[in-house]
Structure formats: structure tokens, C-alpha cells
Amino acid sequence: MTTYFLFGKYCVDSLKKANSKRTAQAYKLIQKLGGKIKSVHALLGENDIIIQAELPGTKAALKASLGLTRLTGIGFTTSEAVPVSEFDKIVK
């Protein structure tokens, strides 16, 4: 499994529709793609929400990003994360 961070920006309509039912649907979507949400946080600043998810690969991450946008109306930017221990090996 690979870790991905999904950075979201609300629009007016997506914020109006925010609720716990939609959050549960987002968790189910990630599970359906073979993944798991590790954490979700509301943010102050450039992004409004961040999701840390483990997914089986790039195609699943793309499907998750698109699926969450369709489900929530939130625009997502998705980044693959590499543990620092692995990064250190790469740059060595």
C-alpha cells in the first residue's frame, strides 16, 4: 500500500452539503478501491481539508481523487508520499 495525501478546496456548494453522511460515504469509497483512510483534518490556509489515505497504487489514487470530487464537490490535489526513511535511501 502506498500513502497518499489528498488536499481539498471547498467551493460554496460543497461546503453547504458538508455532513457526517457524506463523510461516511467518502470512507466507503476509499474502502471500495481497496484502501483505507488514515486521517482527515480540516485546515486553515491554502487548503480546507486533507485526507491521508493508503491506496494500492496510482490508478486507485486517481479513482479516489475523482470519485471524492464527484461525491463531495470538493476539488482535490493528490500527492504520493514517500516515508523519510525511504527518501534517505533514495538520495544516498
Question: Looking at residue 48, which CATH number applies to its domain?
Answer: 3.30.70.260
**Cell numbers given for 45:** 490556509
H/E segment holding residue 60: helix 58-72
Strand partners, 55: 2
Q: What would the grid cell of residue 31 be?
A: 474502502
Report helix, strand or coil for 38: strand
Structurally, how many domains does the chain consist of? 1
What is the residue-level pLDDT of the chain in tens, covering all 92 positions? 999 999 999 999 898 888 999 999 999 999 999 999 999 999 999 999 999 999 999 999 999 999 999 999 999 999 999 999 999 999 98
Structural domain range at position 77: 2-91
